[in-house]
Amino acid sequence: MLNKLAIGGIKHRIRDYSVLFSGLMIAAAIFYMFMSLAMNKDFLNSNSPAAATVFIFGFGAVLLAIITVVYINYANKFLLSMRQKEYGMFMMLGAKSSKISKMIFVETFIIGAIASVIGIILGIFATGFVGQLLMKNLDMPVKYFSSFYMPALITTLIFFIVIFIFSALRNSISLRMTKVLTLLNKDSQPTRIKRNTVWTVFQAIIGLIFIGIGYAAMIHMGSNPIFIYIGVPVALVTIVIGTYFVMNSLTTTIISALKKNGKFSQKGLNNFTLSQLNFRIKDYTKILSMVSIMFSLALGAITVGLGFYQQIDTVVNGQKYYDSQIININSKEKALVDKMSGASTNRYDYKTTDKTVYYRQSDFKSQPFTYSHFNMDSMFSTQKKSTSLNNDEVKYEIQSSMLPKNQTKEIKAVSDQEYNNIQGKANSITYVKTDSFRKNLTPIKQVSEEQQSRFPSMKNAIADKYVVYKNINGFFSGLEFMGFFLGIAFLAMLASCLMFKILSGAAGDVKRYNMLHKIGARQKALRASINKEIAVLFAVPATLGIVHVLVGLQMFKALLMKPYSNLALPFIIFFVLYGGYYFLTRHLYKKIVLK
Amino acid sequence: MQNIVDVKNIEKIYGKANEKQFKALSDVNFEVQPGEFVGIMGASGSGKTTLLNILSTLDTPTRGQVKIAGEDITQLKNNEMADFRANQIGFIFQDFNLLENLTAYENIALPLALQNRSNKEIKPAVARISEKLGLTEILNHYPTELSGGQKQRVAAARALVHQPKIIFGDEPTGALDSKSARALMDTMTKINQEDNVSILLVTHDPFSASFCDRILFIKDGEIGQELKNESHSRGEFYQEILDSLGTFAE
Ligand SMILES: Nc1ncnc2c1ncn2[C@@H]1O[C@H](COP(=O)(O)OP(=O)(O)OP(=O)(O)O)[C@@H](O)[C@H]1O
Ligand SMILES: [Mg+2]
C-alpha cells in the first residue's frame, strides 16, 4: 500500500524527478569523461611534454571527486526536500519509521544506480563527441585517445554506487531521526542577519589577507617555477579560506546596505528579492565560495590550455621565417605556390661538390634573405634581412633547409664567374613567404608532401616550416585538449551544483510566490524577481572567480609568452556554458515555483 | 450609492469539458454595499472558498458577472487582475500567509512597494495602520517571532495598508484561539466602522460571524438564506445565527 503511494508520489512529481535524474546523469557522464582521460596513462604521457601532467590530472581527479560528492549531496537534499513532507505524512498516519526509511533508501539507491549507468553510457558518447570536435575543429592530433576506456568505466561505476549507498543511508537515517513535526513543517527557518559589524569587518580583513597571500604565492610562482610544489597547495588553501570569508562578509554587508536604502529596497519586489537572498545566505556562502574557486580553476584550465595552443603559431613563426621551401621547383609545385595568397618567392641557385655547396653572391644581393633572430633575453624573435652569406645565422637557416646529405657540407657564396666555372649539377631552392602561414596551410602542406615524395631523404629531416608546425602542434594539442576537458568537466559540475542548491530551495518558495501572486504582484514582477535573485547567485562567484583567474595566470608567465593575450575565446566559451546553466536554472525554478 | 460588490448569476464548474465535471457554484446572486460587513457561512465543501477566489480575481467564473466597485472583473486580463488585486483588494487568509523572510514592517509595506509608491509615502502609511492595530512595538520582528494573533494582525495590517475598497477574509480566525479571534474581530469591526471599508468574511465560527451586519448562508453552491443583524445586540445575533445554522443544516 505504502509502496504504491510512494510510486504515486513520484508520478505526481515527474518533472521534479526528471530534473534530479538528468542532473545525476550529467554528473556521472562528466565524471566518466574526466576519468577516461585522467586514468589513461598512455594518453597523458604521449600527449604531454610535462612530467607534471599526471600529477595535475591526479589532483584534478581528487578535486572532481570532492565536487561530485558535494554535488550529489545537494541533489540528494533536493530529493529529500521533495519527499519529506509526504513521508512525514505517512509517518503521522502511523507508518513505521523503519518502513519509511527503508523506502527512502531504496528510492535513493535505485535513482542513483539507474542514473549512473545511463550517465556512463552518455559519458562514453560525450567523450567521443567532444574528442572528435576538438580534434577536427582545432586541428589537434591526439594519440591514444579513446572514448571507451574500461578502467574509467569501472571506477566511475564503483565511485557512484558507493556514494549512493552512503546517500541512501544518510537519507534513511535522517528521516528516522527527525521528528514527524519537523518533517511536516520543514520550511527552513529564516536566518536573521546578525549585523555584528566588528565580526564582519574582521572577516573581510582576514579574507583579504588570505587572498593576498594566495595571490602573492601565485605571482611568485610565475618567476620561480620550482616553487610550484609548495606554492600550489599554499595558494589553494589560502584562497579557499579567503574567498569564504570575503564572500560571507561581503554578501551580507551589501545586502544589508541595500536593504537599508529605502529608496531601493521599498521599490516593487526588491525588498523581497533581497530577503530571499538573505534568507539562505549562510547556506549559500559555502557553495558560492566553492563555485568561485572551481570556476577559477576551470576557467584557468581552459585559458592556459588555449594559451598553449595559440602559442603554436607564434612558436612556429619564430622558428622559421619562410612558410615553404622548394628544391628544384616543378610545375606542380609552382601551381601550388600560385594558389597561396600574398606569396613572394626568393630563388637561389646552388651547385654541390663532395665537400661544399656553392651559392651565387649576386642572388643574395638582388633577393635579400630574411631570417629569424631569436633573442634569449626577451624570449621573442625578430626578423632580420641579409644580403650576404657571411652570417652564421643565415648559414644555419640555409643549411637546415637543404637535403640531409648536403647539410654537413660547407656553404659558400661566390661570384657569378666562379659559380659558372664550378663543375656540378645545377640546383635551385625557392623560399616562399605568404601573408599568413595558417591561412595557406593546405597548399603549404601539399608542397611539403610533394617535396618529401620527390626527395625521400627529407622524410626524417625537420626541413620546412610545415614539419616544424606538425611537431609543435602535436605537442601543444595534447596540453590544450586536456585543458579543455578539465575546464568543461569542472564548469559543468560546479554549475550543476549551484543549480541544485537553488532548486532544492524552490519547493519551500512555492508558498511565498503564491502569496505574492494573491496580493497582486504581476507575473512579470515575480519572474523579474526570480531572474534577479538567480542572476546574483550566479554572478557573485563568477566575478570573484574571474579575479582569481586573472591573477592566477601570473603563474604561467614563464611558460606562456603572453598569458593574457588569449582571454577572449576561453571567456566566451565559458560564459556561453555558464550562461546556459543560468538560464536553465531560472527556467526550472520558475517551473517549480510559478503556476 | 453604487454597490461595492455586485454578483450576478455566477456559476463555477470545475473540470474541463472532457473530464469529470463538478458544479461548485450555481446561480449565485448578491451584492455588498459600501461599508457593509458581510459574512459567508456554510458547510465544508459548500463553495465558500470558490466564491471568494472568484470575487478576488484569483479564479474566473464559468458563467455570470462580477462587478467590484463598478468594474467588471471577469473581463480583466492577467496583468490587470494583478493590478486590481494590488490596488483595490485586501486579503486575510486563515494561515496568515506572511512572508517569513520579511519583518512585520516589510510584510505590511509590501502592497505599497508593489504599487511602486515612494518610500516617503510608505513609511507614514505603515506607521498609521500599525498604530491602529497595536503593532508598533513588533514591527522589526520576523513572523516566526510572533504569536498567532500578532501574525494575523500583521496580515490584517497588510490587507489594509493600501486602503483597499474591500477586504476579503477566508476564515481569518480559523487558526486563532478565542481570545485572539475576538481581538481580531474587534479590530475588523473598528476598521469597518472608522474607515468605512467593506468586509467580506468567510467563516465557520458563529461567534466571529456575529460581528457581521449580514450573513449569507451557502449550501451546495447556492445561497440558501440570508440573516440581517437588525441593530440588536451581538449576543442576540449570535443566538440567531446558531438557530439558523441548526435549521439550515437540516
Ligand atoms: N480546483 C478544484 N477542482 C475541482 N473541484 C474543486 C476544486 N476546488 C474546489 N473544488 C470542489 O468544489 C467544492 C467547493 O469547494 P470550496 O473549496 O469552495 O469549499 P469551501 O466551502 O471553501 O469548504 P471549506 O469550508 O472546507 O473550506 C468542493 O466540493 C470541492 O471539492
Ligand atoms: Mg474553504
Q: What is the pLDDT of residue A188?
A: 47
Does residue A136 carry a pLDDT above 80? no
| CA–CA distance, B178 with B175 (Å, rounded to integer) | 10
3-state secondary structure at position B170 = strand
Does residue A191 carry a pLDDT above 80? no
Q: What is the pLDDT of residue B130?
A: 92
| Residues on chain A bordering chain B, Cβ-to-Cβ distance under 8 angstroms | 187, 189-190, 192, 262-263, 266-272, 275-276, 278-279, 511-512, 515-525
Task: Decide which of A165, A185, A205 is a domain's last residue.
Answer: A185
| Contact of A522 with B82, CB cutoff 8 Å | yes
User: Among A97-106, A419-428, B85-94, B99-108, where is mean pLDDT lowest?
Assistant: A97-106
Using the Cβ of B85 and the Cβ atoms of chain A, whether some distance falls under 8 Å is answered with yes
**pLDDT tens digit string along B219-247?**
888 888 888 888 778 888 888 888 888 77
Let me know whether A6 and A155 are in one domain: yes
Using the Cβ of B58 and the Cβ atoms of chain A, whether some distance falls under 8 Å is answered with yes
Cα(B23) to centroid(ligand 1), Å:
10
Q: What is the pLDDT of residue A139?
A: 62
Using the Cβ of B119 and the Cβ atoms of chain A, whether some distance falls under 8 Å is answered with yes
**Grid cell locating B37:** 460587513
Confidence category of residue A209, pLDDT binned at 50, 70, 90: very high
B13-to-A182, A320, B23, B54 alpha-carbon distances in Å:
37, 84, 4, 12
Residue A328 lies in a domain: yes
Is the reported ipTM for this assembly greater than 0.90? no
Task: Decide which of A428, A463, A498 is a domain's last residue.
Answer: A463
Q: Which of A178, A159, A65 is nearest to A112 (CA)?
A: A159
Q: How far is CA A531 from the centre of its chain?
A: 26
3-state secondary structure at position B204 = coil
Q: Is B21 in the pocket of ligand 1 (CB under 6 A)?
A: no
Under 8 Å CB-to-CB from B117, ≥6 apart: which residues? Answer: A266, B125
| Contact of A156 with A37, CB cutoff 8 Å | no
Nearest-CA distance from A274 to chain B in Å? 10
Which residues, in sequence order, are bridge partners of residue A375? Answer: A380
Torsion of CA A105, A108, A110, A114, to 10 degrees: -160
Residue whose C-alpha cell reads 617535396 in the numeric block = A451
Residue A288 lies in a domain: no
Residue A309 lies in a domain: no
| Contact of B92 with B172, CB cutoff 8 Å | yes
List of domains in chain B: 34-62+86-248 (3.40.50.300)
Single-letter residue type at A560? L
Q: How many CB atoms lie within 10 A of CB A332?
A: 12
| Contact of B224 with B195, CB cutoff 8 Å | no
The H or E element that residue A259 is part of is helix A228-260
| CA–CA distance, A44 with A35 (Å, rounded to integer) | 12
The pTM assigned to this predicted structure is 0.73
Residue A130 lies in a domain: yes
Does residue B147 carry a pLDDT above 70? yes
**Grid cell locating B21:** 465535471
Helices (H), A554-593: 568-593
Using the Cβ of B114 and the Cβ atoms of chain A, whether some distance falls under 8 Å is answered with yes
Let me know whether A10 and A154 are in one domain: yes
**How many folded domains does chain A comprise?**
2
Q: What is the pLDDT of residue A583?
A: 94
Task: Decide which of A412, A437, A463 is a domain's last residue.
Answer: A463
**Grid cell locating B42:** 456554510
Residue by residue, DSSP assigns A428-481 as: EEEEEE-S-TTTTHHHHHHHHHHHHHHSGGGGGS--SHHHHHHHHHHHHHHHHH
**Grid cell locating A31:** 565524471
Q: What is the pLDDT of residue A201?
A: 83
Q: pLDDT exceeding 70 applies to what percent of chain B? A: 98
Task: State the maximum Cα–Cα separation within chain B, in Å, rounded to a whole number.
Answer: 56
Residue A174 lies in a domain: yes
**Grid cell locating A189:** 527557518
| CA–CA distance, A266 with B130 (Å, rounded to integer) | 17
Tell me the average pLDDT of chain B.
87
For range A220-235, the mean pLDDT: 78
Q: Which of B202, B212, B94, B101 is nearest to B152 (CA)?
A: B94
Mutate one of A189, A191, A270, A522 to test the B interface: name it (highest B CB count within 10 A). A522
Structural domain boundaries enclosing A382: 321-463
**Grid cell locating B175:** 487558526
Q: How far is CA A288 from the centre of its chain?
A: 19
Query: A524: which chain B residues are within 8 Å (Cβ-Cβ)?
Result: 79
**Cβ contact, residue pair B84, A520, below 8 Å:** yes
Query: A262: which chain B residues are within 8 Å (Cβ-Cβ)?
Result: 119, 122-123
**pLDDT tens digit string along A17-41?**
777 787 788 888 888 888 887 787 7
Query: A267: which chain B residues are within 8 Å (Cβ-Cβ)?
Result: 113, 116
| CA–CA distance, A399 with A325 (Å, rounded to integer) | 12
Q: What is the pLDDT of residue A134?
A: 67
**Grid cell locating A47:** 600527449
Q: Is B47 in the pocket of ligand 1 (CB under 6 A)?
A: yes
| CA–CA distance, A334 with A326 (Å, rounded to integer) | 9
Cα(B186) to centroid(ligand 1), Å:
29
Which residue in B has a C-alpha nearest to residue A514's C-alpha?
A: B97
Residue whose C-alpha cell reads 536593504 in the numeric block = A259
- Measured from the alpha carbon of residue B24, the closest ligand is 1
Query: B116: which chain A residues are within 8 Å (Cβ-Cβ)?
Result: 267-268
Residue whose C-alpha cell reads 526588491 in the numeric block = A270
Cα(B44) to centroid(ligand 2), Å:
7
Q: What is the pLDDT of residue A169?
A: 86
Residue A294 lies in a domain: no
Q: What is the pLDDT of residue B232?
A: 73
| Contact of A297 with A491, CB cutoff 8 Å | no
Residue A17 lies in a domain: yes
Query: A511: which chain B residues are within 8 Å (Cβ-Cβ)?
Result: 97
User: Among A461-465, B147-151, B179-183, where is mean pLDDT lowest?
Assistant: A461-465
Length of chain B: 250
**Cβ contact, residue pair B82, A263, below 8 Å:** no
Using the Cβ of B222 and the Cβ atoms of chain A, whether some distance falls under 8 Å is answered with no
For range B29-58, the mean pLDDT: 90
| Contact of A288 with A255, CB cutoff 8 Å | no
The H or E element that residue B107 is part of is helix B104-114
How far the first Cα of chain A sits from its last, in Å, is 31
Does residue A312 carry a pLDDT above 90? no
Using the Cβ of B110 and the Cβ atoms of chain A, whether some distance falls under 8 Å is answered with yes
Please state the atom number of ligand 1 nearest to the C-alpha of residue B221: 14
Residue A578 lies in a domain: no
